[in-house]
Amino acid sequence: MKLIVFAYSQLGHDCLKLLLKREENVVSVFTHLDSPSEHIWFDSVAMLAKQHQIPVFTPEKPNTPEIIETIQNLKPDLILSFYYRQMIPQSILDIPSFGALNMHGSCLPYYRGRCPVNWAILHGEKKTGATLHYMVKAADAGDIVDQEEVEITPTDSAGQVMAKVNEAAQIVLTRQIQNLKEGNAPRIPQDHSKASYFGGRGPKDSEINWTQSALQIHNLIRALQPYPQYPPAFSTLDGKALWMMRSEVPETVKYPLAKPGEITAVNFVQNAPLNPALLSSDLTLSSSDLTLSSSDLTLSSSDLFRGSRDSRNKCENDNTSFSVEIACGNGSERIRITKVAMKNTPHQSAANDLEIGMIFQCQSEL
């Protein structure tokens, strides 16, 4: 049986690797050229295919007459898609006699569309998964062959959940590949009345709104970690992005009212892993029209991020870290931020961003 694989990203790489390890007859691979503007954190589908002497195609769009003719000439029995980023046209889906199937990163019919793992975390879901389904004209709407659920814990980042989904996808593929080849795979129609659909996310979608609840902000922060796999949640510092990298939701108690975005407490923790502050700035942190400041502490960003040599040494010797609590929601809630970094310019490399960024686990001038 001849297979054609459309694939990209880590899940695409790992599912292709699984097929090759099983010595499936993959006759060609369609993937994407890596974008210079994107942090490529995942293994290369193209490189893996070339290592196995499999022809690789990287069309800008898969719906051109030339690509359709190429696939027709290859006469595949089965087409499999793993995190390929473009819709495959019906004219291609109709070619293989055993069907064309896609692996989607949610438990369909929930979270159809783009970025399903990120959206699931943003909405506070406790589970998601991987679904193998037949491709039809509408995105992620075809009959389901199989799916595998995974747990989302309250502290899981998108990267951690994506790793679970990757494993779930491989479990489903292993469980069903022989059935697909024999034409015995299940076809379970989706309940379209339960379907939810979400689109892609842009940079502006990552900005924190301090009037949201602590849980909503926490979910946003972890839904956009780790960097550079995802663009982090941020506030702005005179037009510069201040990345919120890790957070906690304090115990549910009613705090005194404060302006959303106001720093209300600085917490020191002894005997904690330390990464001292490295960056200084005198700008004022804000998100939209909200100012992140404290009338009591009068903290500027230089207070938050500038560590004098003496204070850094003190933190290193005492193994001390710190976090800040920020008012949010209607002002009676708090979000605890335990790791932050600043992106200096939009053109620096990922490594340089982290070198010049700082983790505010050591405070100098309180």
Residue 25's pLDDT band, with cuts at 50, 70 and 90, is very high
Q: Is the pLDDT of residue 226 over 80?
A: yes
What token pair was written down for 57? 């195609």
Other Cβ atoms closer than 10 A to 66:
9
Report, in angstroms and rounded to the nearest whole number, the Rg of the chain calculated over CA atoms: 24
Q: Where are the domains of the chain?
A: 3-198, 232-356
Percent of the chain with pLDDT over 90: 66
Q: Is the pLDDT of residue 205 over 60?
A: yes
Give the model confidence (pLDDT) of 296-340 as tens digits.
333 344 444 433 233 334 434 444 456 888 999 999 999 999 888
Q: Is the pLDDT of residue 361 over 70?
A: no
CB 211 within 8 A of CB 219: no
Euclidean distance between the first and the last CA atom of the chain, given in angstroms as a whole number: 69
**pLDDT at residue number 263:** 83
Taking residues 164-186, what's their average pLDDT? 97
**pLDDT at residue number 45:** 98
Give the model confidence (pLDDT) of 251-275 as tens digits.
877 899 999 988 888 776 555 443 3
Give the model confidence (pLDDT) of 341-357 as tens digits.
876 533 333 333 332 22
Burial degree of 196 (CB within 10 A; 0-12, 13-18, 19+) = middle
Q: Where are the beta strands (DSSP E) in the chain?
A: 3-7, 26-30, 56-57, 78-82, 100-104, 112-113, 127-134, 144-151, 197-198, 233-237, 240-248, 263-270, 285-287, 290-291, 320-328, 333-342
**pLDDT at residue number 5:** 98
Beta bridge partners of 276: none
Residue that wins the pLDDT comparison between 264 and 57: 57
CB 290 within 8 A of CB 258: no
User: Cα–Cα distance between 67 and 55 in angstroms, integer?
Assistant: 13
**pLDDT at residue number 359:** 31
**pLDDT at residue number 268:** 65
User: Cα–Cα distance between 160 and 271 in angstroms, integer?
Assistant: 26
**pLDDT at residue number 323:** 81
For the packed helices 9-21 and 158-182, what is the interaxial angle rounded to 10 degrees?
40
Q: Is the pLDDT of residue 83 over 80?
A: yes
Q: Is the pLDDT of residue 150 over 90?
A: yes
Q: Which amino acid is at 37?
A: S
The yes/no answer on whether domain 3-198 falls in CATH 3.40.50.300 is no
CB 30 within 8 A of CB 95: no
**pLDDT at residue number 215:** 96
Taking residues 54-74, what's their average pLDDT? 97
Q: Is the pLDDT of residue 51 over 80?
A: yes
The lowest-confidence range among 103-112, 159-168, 170-179, 276-285 is 276-285
Q: Is the pLDDT of residue 285 over 60?
A: no
Average pLDDT across the chain, whole number: 82
**pLDDT at residue number 321:** 58
**What are the φ and ψ backbone dihedral angles of 78, each rounded to 5 degrees?**
-150, 135
Instruction: Give per-residue burial for 11-37: e unless 16+ CB within 10 Å, then b.
Output: bbbbbbbbbbeeebebbbbbbbeeeee
Residue that wins the pLDDT comparison between 240 and 224: 224
> Tell me, what DSSP letter sits at residue 333?
E
**pLDDT at residue number 227:** 87
User: Cα–Cα distance between 337 and 324 in angstroms, integer?
Assistant: 6
CB 261 within 8 A of CB 326: yes
User: Residues with Cβ < 8 Å from 53, sequence gap 6 or more?
Assistant: none
Beta pairing, strands 127-134 & 100-104: antiparallel
Output the CA torsion 308→313→319→320 (10° steps).
-20
User: Cα–Cα distance between 112 and 354 in angstroms, integer?
Assistant: 33
Residue 295's pLDDT band, with cuts at 50, 70 and 90, is very low
From the list 133, 106, 121, 285, the residue with the least C-alpha distance to 201 is 121
User: Residues with Cβ < 8 Å from 176, sequence gap 6 or more?
Assistant: 132, 145, 146, 185
Q: Is the pLDDT of residue 284 over 50?
A: no
Helices and strands counted in the chain (H then E): 10, 16
Residue 363's pLDDT band, with cuts at 50, 70 and 90, is very low
The lowest-confidence range among 1-15, 190-204, 205-219, 301-315 is 301-315
Percent of the chain with pLDDT over 70: 77
> Tell me, what DSSP letter sits at residue 188?
B
**pLDDT at residue number 342:** 73
User: Cα–Cα distance between 227 and 19 in angstroms, integer?
Assistant: 29
Q: Is the pLDDT of residue 152 over 90?
A: yes
**pLDDT at residue number 289:** 38
Other Cβ atoms closer than 10 A to 234:
25
User: Of the spans 41-45, 243-247, 280-284, which averages the highest pLDDT?
Assistant: 41-45
Indicate the pTM of the whole model.
Answer: 0.82
